[in-house]
């Protein structure tokens, strides 16, 4: 079942690239006492994700922070090394935190998993964005298959 607004983010673990190597971070620790704008993409380095989705959040990072967002997080069902390389190539450092959902645990727990097997991608996370305050989902914007409208940085910014 797909998660809804008003629900608590489910317990899950991401992997974050750091200068000292991969570091696990729980959703409990990530969201506790903070306001997080999180967006999920089907895959790093894929066309819409690289040309529009991640760059939009990089460009709007200051505006989102000015509206009270403590951290902007990008996640995908990719390994931590791919997420790190993608963030570096997109100039995300200091603007968007790249977190790997390598096994799709978070996407599955959210009920937002998709089957990308037809494109050779296997099980992935759907394209979505959300605003989370202290672990509670206040805004959840899930794209219809093939769409890129409601999960954009501009759309989320308009909801703040």
Active site residues: 49
In angstroms, rounded to a whole number, what is the distance separating the alpha carbons of residues 29 and 13?
Answer: 10
Say if CB 16 and CB 80 are below 8 A apart: yes
- Tell me if residue 49 falls in helix, strand or coil: helix
Instruction: Say whether 126 sits in a helix, a strand or coil.
Output: coil
């Amino acid at each position: 079942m797909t998660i809804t607004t008003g629900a608590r983010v489910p317990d899950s673990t991401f992997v974050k690239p750091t200068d000292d190597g991969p570091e696990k971070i729980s959703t409990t620790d990530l969201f506790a006492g903070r306001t997080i704008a999180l967006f999920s993409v089907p895959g790093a380095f894929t066309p819409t994700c690289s040309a529009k989705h991640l760059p939009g959040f990089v460009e709007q990072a200051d505006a989102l922070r000015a509206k009270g967002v403590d951290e902007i997080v990008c996640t995908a069902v990719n390994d931590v090394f791919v997420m790190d390389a993608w963030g570096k190539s997109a100039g995300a450092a200091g603007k968007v935190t790249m977190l790997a959902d390598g096994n799709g645990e978070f996407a599955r727990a959210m009920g937002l998993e998709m089957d990308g097997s037809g494109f050779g991608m296997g099980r992935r996370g759907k394209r979505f964005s959300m605003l989370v305050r202290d672990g509670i989902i206040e805004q959840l914007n899930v794209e219809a298959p093939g769409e890129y409208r409601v999960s954009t940085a501009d759309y989320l910014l308009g909801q703040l």
